[in-house]
A and B are shown apart, each in its own frame.
Chain A
Amino acid sequence: MKSLTIKKLFQMHSWVGIVTGILLFIVAFTGAVAVFARPELIIWSNATGSELPREVAPQQVEQLVNEYSQHVPSEFTENIHIYMPTGYNYTELTLVFESHHGDENYDQPVAYAYEINSNTFALERQFYGLTGDYYEGRKYTAGAFIGHFHADLHLGRPVGLILTGFMGLTLMISVITGLYIHREMFKQLFTFRRDKSISVVTSDAHKLFGLWGSVFHFVIGFTGAFLGLATVILLPAAAYVSFNGDQDKLVETFTAMPEPVISEQYQATEIASIMTHISARDEKATLMDLTVMALNDKNSTVYARMLGGENFASELLEYQGNGDFSKAMSSFGDIGGWAITIIEWLFPLHFGNFSGVFVKILWGFLGLTTALIPLSGVMMWLSKRSRGNNSDLSAVAYQRWNRLIIGSCGGIVLACAVMFPAQVILNTTVHGVAQNSWFAPIFFGSWLAWLLLSVLPIDYRRLLRINLIIVAAALLLIVPLKIITIDGYLGFVLASDYRLVAGIDLSFVIIGSLFSYIVFQLKGSHAALSRKPLQQEVA
């Protein structure tokens, strides 16, 4: 009975892996890159000179808000979003004056937006139109594009989110079934026979990543499934159960920022003193944005969204307009209970954004193992099917399968790598939001081109080598491109405030060199393998 259960679970583990393996690799690999998207890669992408986004003094923020509030109709000062140039979402100080009820031109939420350079305070861009159009049309970067691709594969709602959420569920199933069927393997926690054949190395790596990383993979699967499915399945389901299907009512219940009641009595909103109090309250936390309700009104309220610091999850602080602190609450509002705490924790546990770069490095590497598990699993399955005299996979079919894996999985690695030198080139040739239209053709174009190449009858080992060479070349090209295109790059690359960008540049050089090393290693093993028949190799 027990062996029958294990056999069934093994079949389930195998088939779930085979059916979803390639897509799971794609989602997990881009997730490992996306960990560094906000703020690191966004700041890196926008670094076109020696100036990087910097913190704006509280007094300056208050002055700018009051100055630009004079340029908009009074109803737009009832709801102001002030996005700090942190790199999480914005690299400019961005002021969005919003009217939820529209104006004389629109009957939907409409906004005036001003993007202000955080170094010079010069107005970089202004916008007037539908609020949704503003947020959708903001300047993209290579890092943000990859992050967005990880979230919904650029398929949009609900298809993309359901697909990535479903990948989270399959990851959870694979972890549970994998642990159960391989529970004897806990004795082999340190077994990695790197000097053996590729089949043995792949099998050892699969078990090693699966056993050591099981907790991480399960957490990523669970949180990913929640983030993907929450808004498209769980939210309507919760509204159906508790609010007679009224989703707006549900959202309203959980909204932390109610609409203000305007008193029409003047009282200056103390934005500067509120920001100063926020900094003193938790020095390590990052102020993401402020929302000012009813600017310079007696009933004005200010909400501050915080990330990191003493709190594991993001936090929302509420202040009265006169600067008095009211309360701290979760992003979902002033609602207690363990369920809200668990939901709050899902976000930092998935993104790894709760404690700076060190935790992100951990998340990035562990995320890479999440990506390599389905890949190694598919390789093991193929190898097993091609083995022996009675194999049910011919040598030609084995080649095709490997080309498909290299075309799709190697293609996504290649497409991600190509995005970064492309970003450097775009920074010098295309200005501002006009860059947005370039990222999709570069990313999907390079991926598709590589997929088409993999259809050709090229030996899969050669194809893999070419893939690695292109990835290495793309990453090693970044610094030379920057030297050519950015005036005085070598002069300020060692400056202390340029440390983040220089660190990322150095990381690209290291990763590119690592890929080059693998190419040379493969060259040796390729020569040895090419002397063996295929059947012997897969055995």
Chain B
Amino acid sequence: MIYLSFILVILSIYLTKHTQLHSGVKWPIAAGLLLTALWLTQPLLGTAAAIVALVASVLLSGILVAMLIKRS
């Protein structure tokens, strides 16, 4: 479940940069994905740990998306 939440975080970062969707659509979707990731990890890690892990996931996902996904 934790790894699934990390995939959701990567997806949300990917969405914000690499899709042609309108800002009004992609930002709410990305935020929804992040909240879902938090909702998945909160029961497993506890609230504080889940938030810290989510922030760290966002940071690492940003680096991974920027480095590994080629710009179209």
Chain A contact residues, CB within 8 Å of chain B: 189-192, 194, 205, 208-209, 212-213, 215-216, 309-312, 349, 354-356, 358-359, 362-363, 365-366, 369
Contact = CB atoms under 8 A, between A and B. Distances in A.
Contact of A208 (B6, B56, B63, B71): B63
- The DSSP consensus for interface residues of chain A is helix
A352 to B, nearest CB: 8
Given A358-B6, A358-B53, A362-B53, A208 B59 contact: no
A311 B45 CA distance: 9
Contact of B56 (A189, A191, A362): A362
Nearest to B67: A192
A349 B53 CA distance: 10
A167 B22 CA distance: 44
B66 A212 contact: yes
B59 A349 contact: no
B56 A355 contact: no
- The DSSP consensus for interface residues of chain B is helix
Contacts of A192: 66-67
Contacts of B59: 212-213, 215-216, 366
Nearest to A312: B48
Contacts of B6: 358
Which of B6, B57, B66 has the most C-beta atoms of chain A within 10 angstroms of its own C-beta? B66
A189 B66 contact: yes
Given A208-B66, A209-B63, A215-B55, 18 more contacts: A190-B17, A190-B65, A190-B71, A192-B67, A194-B67, A208-B63, A216-B56, A309-B46, A312-B52, A349-B52, A355-B45, A356-B2, A358-B3, A358-B6, A359-B52, A359-B56, A363-B56, A365-B60
A312 B57 CA distance: 17
B57 A362 contact: yes
A358 B2 contact: yes
Interface of B: 2-3, 6, 17, 44-46, 48-49, 52-53, 55-57, 59-60, 62-63, 65-67, 71
A311 B71 CA distance: 41
A354 B50 CA distance: 10
A359 B49 contact: yes
Contacts of A354: 45, 49, 52
Nearest to A308: B49
23 contacts: A189-B17, A189-B62, A190-B62, A191-B66, A192-B67, A194-B67, A208-B66, A208-B67, A212-B62, A213-B59, A309-B46, A311-B46, A355-B44, A355-B45, A355-B49, A355-B53, A358-B2, A359-B45, A359-B49, A359-B53, A359-B56, A362-B60, A366-B59
Contacts of A212: 59-60, 62-63, 66
Contacts, number: 64
Contacts of A209: 63
Nearest to B70: A194
Contacts of A216: 56, 59
A43 B38 CA distance: 31
Contacts of A311: 46
Contacts of B17: 189-190
Nearest to B2: A358
Nearest to A358: B2
Nearest to A194: B67
Contacts of B44: 355
Contacts of B2: 356, 358
Contacts of A190: 17, 62, 65-66, 71
A359 B3 CA distance: 10
A312 B46 contact: yes
Contacts of B63: 208-209, 212-213, 369
